[in-house]
Amino acid sequence: MSQLSNACHIMSVAAGLALAGGAAAQNSPAGDDPYAWLEDVQGAKQLDWVKARNAKAEAEIATTAEFKSLEAEILAILDSDAKIPGVQKIGDYYYNFWKDKQHERGLWRRTTLAEYRKANPAWETVLDLDALNKAEGTKWVWHGADCLRPAYERCLVALSPGGSDADVTREFDLTTKQFVQDGFFRAEAKGGLSWIDRDTVYVYTDFGKGTLTSSGYPNIVKEWKRGTPLASAKTVYEGKPGDMYIAAGHDHTPGYERDFVNRTLAFYNDELYLRGADGSLAKVDAPNSAQKGVHKDWLVLELREPYEAGGKAYKPGSLIATNFNEFMAGKREFTALFEPTDKSSLAGYTWTKDHLVLNVMEDVKNKLSVLTPGKGAWAKQDFVGAPTIGTVGVGAVDDEDSNAVWLTATDFLTPTTLSIADLGKQPEVLKSNPVFFDGSKSVIEQHFATSKDGTKVPYFLVRPKALAFDGKAPALLYGYGGFEISMTPGYSGGIGKGWLEKGGVYALANIRGGGEYGPRWHQAALKANRHKAYEDFAAIADDLVARKITSPQHLGTMGGSNGGLLMGNMLTQYPEKFGAIVVQVPLLDMKRYSHLLAGASWMAEYGDPDTSDWSFIQGFSPYHLFDAKKDYPATLFTTSTKDDRVHPAHARKMMALMEAAGKDVRYYENIEGGHGGAANNAQSAHMTALAYTFLWQQLSQPAKTAASGDVEDAKPQRRPRGGISGSRL
């Protein structure tokens, strides 16, 4: 473990907002909420309600030939054998988890670097999840593996039932390719196991009553010896009331073996402790808000607040480094590795054996450089052969033994490429995604909209080269705006087939609340300032209209998770700006959110609705902003029964509220899938096709006057609630 993140395994890559929900609410719903009964996720009555609305949505959207064609095209993309198989180096092998038509739940497989360089590598199957599910009568979804250095013979494999965040951990033998009989096993819960040595692990999980935080995550971490009952495991650290997540890990780097305990109080607020051989804990006395990384000799801090140390002041967004042992001994002499400007922020960094590679964004465009540690100033060099297009990602191949890195490069119209590069040498392109759609007729632009308070807000635009600029183009605006997560260009076969190839315009918003300009951009939209994120998004919608790219009746918007909260606010606060809205796995009831299982973990972002914070939270709670007297754009809610991050009741209750008021609304809840919405490629294709087909139905057709049938663009027609037509013609 070269770095223990303050996120403690909570923030997931894919997707987005690392929230948690679950089977039911932690305490009884408010008595005046007529739809509180929908918070019972698995209740028979509730699931009957879900199935009835799923059937209506399917009848309206999924019965057309256009839908079936798009679903098949998207599934073919997801199942394509030509996709880049991303790999992770584990010992001498390169491991990949792969799903396709023949392997619905996936294969964990491996190859050598020499084979991987080939167009069609030979893969050795390590674990076939479909075969395992058949043998065990289960529906496991892969959550990853932690393999023990240096022999890499044993792994701790995490498997989720149906895609939920809660999972089990089982010990796996890489030599026999079998689960270890009577090996380490952690029952289903949120948490994990991590190796200390072959016979010892850290375990943080649900140990019974009183052992979870108010957010539903582990509040205790223990040291567990092989062959002993879990009940006898020794407590290493117990969190305090109100904590978010407690975890521990062992750094296996030869010569730098260390143990750390991480106490997460909230997002971007944690304490890191060095654990001594006697079990004592010494705090790494850095700011709680700083992301802390320990690599060999170095402590690296990514600052989110001003910090003074060694007689120097460092700005939020800076990356600073010092000798770890000297820091623990009381010294505070840091070297600034990166300092932000008004236009630049740190996108990330990665350690190799001898270097640190910086990834910086300047106006949401990546630039790489290489730093080499030294006494005082670190040597800095340009990254040789760095990609110059689109979004660039960089990650170490092996931070212990190699100075090689993986490079990915992508944009909206250019298929992703994967390269390997020894620092200082030209990268070698290993893999490229195939062309999944015809992007030759489109062009990428970047624009800036002016928000209500005068802030310039960037957004990316993909439009037809031959766009008429008459305000009639179907346009889709996507956004997120939270948790310091940046929205950057990327190649998507789903967007290409579902939208761009048809002639649609696609826009990606970089609103405040995200990380595009570092901590300041995120912090500008926290809590009482949340409205600024929504004002930014509305300003981009206005800018698209002002440029005559589209018009409100042809402009749709979509977002999920925290982006679903964004969509809820577009729906209730700015309904006149959009012709259709897709709201995915959303937060919507902001009065109840902190009581829906892990909601307490998000209060640093939104505030506490049980305090005076409600005075501003209610101003962005869509469930409470809804007005039955208002006209709203056509709306589609999607979620998952198995989502144990954002409780599906948010979408269920908002659907029920709008449905009762006779609004133009439909709903689809996938039974599996967790917060990602789908557990396999077929489910993903179905959900994606539903969203894009619905949007195209609503936005691509001109409305007609009631008197003459002449085309006009004043306002789109609304289909009566409950209609089953698959077209707005």
638-640-641-646 Cα dihedral, nearest 10 degrees = -100
CB 561 within 8 A of CB 675: yes
Instruction: State the DSSP string of 54-82.
Output: HHHHHHHHTTSHHHHHHHHHHHHHHT-TT
Query: Is there a catalytic annotation at residue 250?
Result: no
> Environment class of residue 3 by beta-carbon count within 10 Å: exposed (0-12), middle (13-18) or buried (19+)?
middle
H/E run at residue 494: helix 493-498
CB 698 within 8 A of CB 71: no
Question: Of the listed 561, 594, 601, 621, which one is catalytic?
Answer: 561
Task: Select from 512, 483, 356 the least CA-distant residue to 6.
Answer: 483
Question: Of the listed 143, 675, 684, 686, which one is catalytic?
Answer: 675
Task: Select from 527, 529, 533 the least CA-distant residue to 604.
Answer: 527
Could you tell me which residues are beta bridge partners of residue 179?
Answer: 172
Q: Distance (Å, rounded) from C-alpha 481 to C-alpha 478? A: 10
Task: Select from 407, 239, 376, 390 the least CA-distant residue to 312.
Answer: 376
Q: Where would I find the H helices in 245-287?
A: none
3-state DSSP percent of the chain in helix, strand and coil, to 5? 20, 30, 45
572 phi, psi to nearest 5 deg: -90, -30
Residue type (1 letter), 166: A
DSSP 645: B
Query: Is there a catalytic annotation at residue 419?
Result: no
Q: With b meaning 16 or more CB within 10 Å and e meaning fewer, what string describes 422-440?
A: ebeeebeebbebeebbebe
Q: Which residues are catalytic?
A: 561, 675
